[in-house]
Chains A and B, each alone.
Chain A
């Protein structure tokens, strides 16, 4: 399933899209770009914790993306 999981107060919010539907792809792209503008980091992760990659541009074929909010030192 193609989805963006964004970490938030509810645990995570999911935006899913069907790659065959351009409007869904564009909506997902808009969400991705909006979160990146707010300082979120995007990671494409594989199943079972295998190392993923950091993403700076939206790739509709990427699969599962996790959007991580900004970090701070405590």
Chain B
């Protein structure tokens, strides 16, 4: 029986019960610690009944974010850190802008006049392979991945090559100059390294 189970449990665990009855066990548990509840009223606090079923009240916890209240010193310190971070980011952006311009300048210095004209007009340059004499088109405004095309006599792309410098932080102008120099002066190496895809794109 339930009462007997609790009864034996209570008699074993409880150190203050003087009797081994269900009611006294709960009374002992609730009485000293929870104030004035009596046995039955304890349960009525914990367990509600409506003659149909027993339900248990569960406290509802709502976590509402309360921002910490900062002291003026803390506010000033946070503002200082924020300003310093912004200054650092602005410096990095400025350095990056200078690097991109320098790379572009280096590229333009090493193009023929025809290539310079073509790059301004069409955003690509055409170079001749140093060994195979094949013609290649290098796009300059499409990033540095897949921007090299092997072309036929009519200018149609035969293959698309994806090859660039290992260090992606180097500006694009340097990548394009490297592609040009390698195609013209070390075609074997770039042919071996490039990832090639057949294409039917028409210029």
Contact = CB atoms under 8 A, between A and B. Distances in A.
Contact of A69 (B110, B112, B115, B178): B178
A50 interface: yes
A64 to B, nearest CB: 9
Given A10-B98, A10-B99, A11-B106, A71 B182 contact: yes
Given A9-B99, A70-B165, A74-B145, A54 B185 contact: yes
B168 to A, nearest CB: 10
Contacts of B186: 41, 54
A11 B101 contact: yes
B113 interface: yes
A69 B185 contact: no
A37 to B, nearest CB: 16
A11 B182 contact: no
A72 B193 contact: yes
Contacts of A53: 185
Interface size class of A (residues with CB under 8 A): 20 to 34
B111 A71 contact: no
Contacts, number: 103
B77 to A, nearest CB: 32
B141 interface: no
A68 B145 CA distance: 17
Interface string A60-72: 0000001011111
Nearest to B111: A49
B110 A45 contact: yes
B169 interface: yes
A41 B109 CA distance: 19
A48 B112 contact: yes
A7 interface: yes
Given A5-B106, A51-B130, A71-B166, A11 B111 contact: no
Interface of B: 95, 98-103, 105-106, 109-113, 115, 130, 145-146, 162-167, 169-171, 173-174, 177-178, 181-182, 184-186, 189-190, 193-195
12 contacts: A7-B103, A7-B106, A11-B105, A41-B182, A43-B181, A49-B115, A51-B130, A53-B185, A66-B106, A66-B110, A70-B165, A71-B182
A-B interface, 3 closest residue pairs, ranked by CB to CB distance from nearest = A11-B102, A74-B162, A73-B195
Given A11-B101, A68-B182, 13 more contacts: A7-B106, A10-B95, A12-B106, A51-B184, A66-B106, A66-B177, A69-B178, A70-B165, A71-B165, A71-B189, A71-B190, A73-B195, A74-B195
